[in-house]
Structure 1
Amino acid sequence: MSGTFVAVVGPSGSGKDSILESARVALIGQGDIVFAQRRITRPASAGEDHHPVGEDEFDAALSRGEFALTWQAHGLRYGIPAHLVDVVASGGVVVANVSRGVLDQLPAVFTTVRVARVTVSEEVRLTRILARGRENAAAAAARVARPDPAPDFAVDLEIVNDGTLDEASAAFAAFLWQVRNTVRTPR
C-alpha cells in the first residue's frame, strides 16, 4: 500500500503556514495524516512550526542521510525528514510546505504526490511579509517580486487565500480528507 505526499506551495506571504496549522488542528487524531516539521537554518519564530538548526547541524544531518528532500531559498536551507518516505510508503498521508522549485523532484522521492497551491494578491503578501518582521522593506519587496519557479506545474487544489483563514483551512482540510479516503480505498 502506498500513501500520498501532499506538497503545499505558494509564494512567501500567501498564508501557507497559517492554513497548514489550522488544518493540522482540525485534523488532530488522524494519525495517518502527518504534518511534516521541516528543519530550517533559521531561529524559531511565531507562525511557522519548524525545527531550527544551524548550518553545521544541517550539514551533519545531510551527510547522515536524514533528509528526503532539501532546498535553499532566501538565504536559508530547508529539509524534509527522511523518515516521512516510510510514512508514505506504509499508506500515510504526509503534508509539507515545500518550495515550488523542488516540485519536479517529488515523484522521484514519493510514489504518489498531490499539490496544493496557495495564492493571494501581491499587496496582501507584502503586508504579511512585513508584519512577520523577518525582513526589511527592500527584502520583503524582493520576495514579492521573485518569479514563480514553477508557474505551469499542474496542481490538484488551488486556494486563493483572499477570504478568511477558516475558509481557506476548511477547503484544505476537506482536500486532505479526500486524499486520505483515496489512499484508504482499494483501487
Structure 2
Amino acid sequence: MSGAFVAVVGASGSGKDSVIGAARDLLADQDESFVFPRRLITRPVGAGEDHLPVSEADFTRIESEGGFALSWRAHGLAYGLPAAVVDAVRAGDVVVANVSRGVLNQLTERFERSAVIRVCVPEEQRRARLARRGREADAEIQARMDRPDPAPDTRIDLEIVNDGALEDAGRTLADFLRGISPARQSAHIGRAAATPDGGCDA
C-alpha cells in the first residue's frame, strides 16, 4: 500500500514547524516509517527552522532539472522539497512537511495518497510570534499578516488550533499520522473534515 504525503499548512506565525517538531519527537520510536524532510530555502541558516540553505541560482537550476517534488515562492524567498519525497511515499512512508497553501492543488498529481493539516492561532497571538522570531521588520510582519489564503476552498483533513501547550498540538498531529500509516490500514485519509467549533480563520 502506498504511503502518504501530509501537507501541514497555515499562516505565518501559526507554529507549523514547532508542531511538526513536537510530533516528530513523539514518533521517533515508532515501528512505522515517518519522514520529516528538510526544505531547501533561499535563506541563510539562522534561528528557527532547520533548513538547507541554497542560492537563488542553485534553486532555479534544481527546479529546472526536476529536483523538487514541490516548490514555491513566497515572502521574497524560494522553497522546495526534494524529489526523493515522491519515492518515499511510493515506498510506503508517511512524509510530513510544511508547505505553501498555494501548492495544495498539486498534491493529487504528485502523490497517490495525501492529507492536509491546517495549523492556526488567534491573530494577536500570531502577530506576537512573528515579532518574537525577529526575522522581519514591522512592515514585513504586516505583509505576512495581510496575506490572503491562496487556496481557500482546499479540503482540510484536520485543523489544529495551536494556542495552548505545544505538546498537546504535537500529540494531535502525531495521533493523526499514526492513523494514516499504511501499517494501520486507515480508511479516513482523503475525506474532508469539518472545521471544529472554535477554530481559526484561514
Q: TM-score, normalised by structure 1?
A: 0.94
Using the TM superposition, give the Cα deviation of residue 32 of structure 1 relative to its aligned residue in structure 2, in angstroms. 1.1
CA distance in 2, matches of 1:152, 1:109: 19
Could you tell me which amino acid in structure 1 is paired with residue 18 of structure 2? S
Specify the alignment match of 1:15 in structure 2.
15
Runs of 4+ in structure 1 deviating by more than 3 angstroms, as ranges, are: none
After superposition, give the CA deviation of every residue in 1:72-92 in whole Å (9 maximum; x if it has no partner).
000100101101101101111
Higher helix share: 1
Secondary structure of 2:89's partner?
A: helix
Specify the alignment match of 1:124 in structure 2.
125
Using the TM superposition, give the Cα deviation of residue 148 of structure 1 relative to its aligned residue in structure 2, in angstroms. 1.0
Gapped regions of structure 2 (runs ≥ 5): 188-202
Secondary structure of 1:78's partner?
A: strand
Shift in alpha-carbon separation, 1:28–1:11, aligned structure 2, 3 A: same
CA distance in 2, matches of 1:29, 1:45: 28
Q: Tell me which moved more, 147-156 or 165-174.
A: 147-156
Could you tell me which amino acid in structure 2 is paired with residue 132 of structure 1? R
Secondary structure of 2:112's partner?
A: coil
Matches within 5 A, 1:46-85: 46-85=47-86
Matches within 5 A, 1:97-108: 97-108=98-109
Secondary structure of 1:20's partner?
A: helix
Please tell me the root mean square deviation across aligned C-alpha atoms, in Å: 1.3
Equivalent residues of 2:178, 2:184 under 8 A apart: no
Equivalent residues of 2:12, 2:144 under 8 A apart: yes
Q: Does 1:159 align with 2:160?
A: yes
Q: TM-score, normalised by structure 2?
A: 0.87
Secondary structure of 1:8's partner?
A: strand
CA distance in 1, matches of 2:14, 2:166: 11
CA distance in 2, matches of 1:29, 1:76: 34
Equivalent residues of 2:72, 2:80 under 8 A apart: yes
Count how many residue pairs are aligned between Structure 1 and Structure 2.
185
Using the TM superposition, give the Cα deviation of residue 63 of structure 1 relative to its aligned residue in structure 2, in angstroms. 2.8
Using the TM superposition, give the Cα deviation of residue 185 of structure 1 relative to its aligned residue in structure 2, in angstroms. 4.4
CA distance in 2, matches of 1:116, 1:93: 14
Q: Does 1:89 align with 2:90?
A: yes
Tell me the percent identity: 56
Specify the alignment match of 2:180 in structure 1.
179
After superposition, give the CA deviation of every residue in 1:48-106 in whole Å (9 maximum; x if it has no partner).
12111111121222233211111000010010110110110111100000001110111
CA distance in 2, matches of 1:82, 1:185: 26
Q: Tell me which moved more, 23-32 or 100-109.
A: 23-32
Secondary structure of 1:155's partner?
A: coil
Secondary structure of 1:95's partner?
A: strand
Could you tell me which amino acid in structure 2 is paired with residue 10 of structure 1? G
Using the TM superposition, give the Cα deviation of residue 179 of structure 1 relative to its aligned residue in structure 2, in angstroms. 1.2
